[in-house]
Every structure is written in structure tokens, then in C-alpha cells.
Amino acid sequence: MAIASIPRTPPSPPAPEVVSFHRSELAVILALYGRMVAAGEWRDYGISALRDVAVFSVFRRTAEHPLYRIEKRPKLARRQGQYAVVGMDGRILKRGRDLKAVLSVLERKLIRAVSD
């Protein structure tokens, strides 16, 4: 009696890792977002979770380019810091390891908007 060999399926490649914001990081970002919406500065946002970067984009109106992008790049954690705020023109406004410190550049804009 011959034993039938069962064909083996090749192992599937591992799913690509996706960078995303942690709940505590989103809490900090959404707290700032809520204050800016209340001040009338921001109106919409979008979140992207990609292989190398997670992006929280802020819009003044839905159909335009983002005013700011809050990026998380874990590969830069030991160098410049994994968090960055990027302006509409692509310039990095602030980069660092502490999310609250990086978002302080946008907090200044909130203080300016309220004092007008």
C-alpha cells in the first residue's frame, strides 16, 4: 500500500508591517484637533497608515491639500525623532521624540488665532 503524498502549500509571505498611531498618540492629536476646530481653524482630517509612516493630515476644507501633516516614522526614532509636523509646502516645522513637544508648534498657532 502506497502512501499518497499530500502536496504542501508554500508558506505565505508575512504581511507587510503597517505603521499606525497608538491610542494614546491619537488622544493627544485629537485633543489639539478639537481645540483648533473650536477656534475655526481646522475643519477635517484624514489618517493614513502606510508601511513606513503613519500620517494624520489636517484640512481647512475637505477638497484641498492638507494644511499640516503630523507624521510618525519609527525608523527615525533614534536619529531625529519619530514625530514630525510638516507644513503645506513640505517643510518640516518641527521634529522630535516627544509628540506633545512636536505639536507645540501648532499650539502657538492656536494662541495666535484666538488672540486676533
The number of helices, as runs of H, and strands, as runs of E, in the chain is 2, 5
Q: Would 79 be classed as within a structural domain?
A: yes
Q: What is the spatial distance between Cα 88 and Cα 72, in angstroms, rounded to a whole number?
A: 17
Q: Would 7 be classed as within a structural domain?
A: no
Residue 79: its pLDDT value, please?
Answer: 87
Q: Would 10 be classed as within a structural domain?
A: no
- Over the stretch 45-94, which tens digit does the pLDDT of each residue have? 999 999 999 999 999 876 678 899 999 998 888 888 899 999 988 899 99
Question: pLDDT band at residue 3, thresholds of 50, 70 and 90?
Answer: low
- Give CA separation, 82 vs 31, 69, 92, in Å: 20, 13, 12
At 66, list the grid cell. Answer: 492638507
Q: Would 99 be classed as within a structural domain?
A: yes
Domain that holds residue 39: 23-115
Q: How many domains does the chain have?
A: 1
Residue 77: its pLDDT value, please?
Answer: 82
Residue 81: its pLDDT value, please?
Answer: 87
Burial (CB count <10 Å: 0-12, 13-18, 19+), residue 72 = buried
Q: Would 108 be classed as within a structural domain?
A: yes
Task: Give the CA dihedral 100, 24, 64, 102, nearest 10 degrees.
Answer: 10
User: How does the average pLDDT of the chain come out, rounded?
Assistant: 85
Q: Quick one: residue 4, left, alpha or beta (phi over 0 = left, psi -120 to 50 = alpha)? A: beta
Angle (CA) 54 60 62, round 5°: 75
Q: Would 86 be classed as within a structural domain?
A: yes
Q: Would 15 be classed as within a structural domain?
A: no
Q: What's the whole-model pTM score?
A: 0.77
Q: Would 71 be classed as within a structural domain?
A: yes
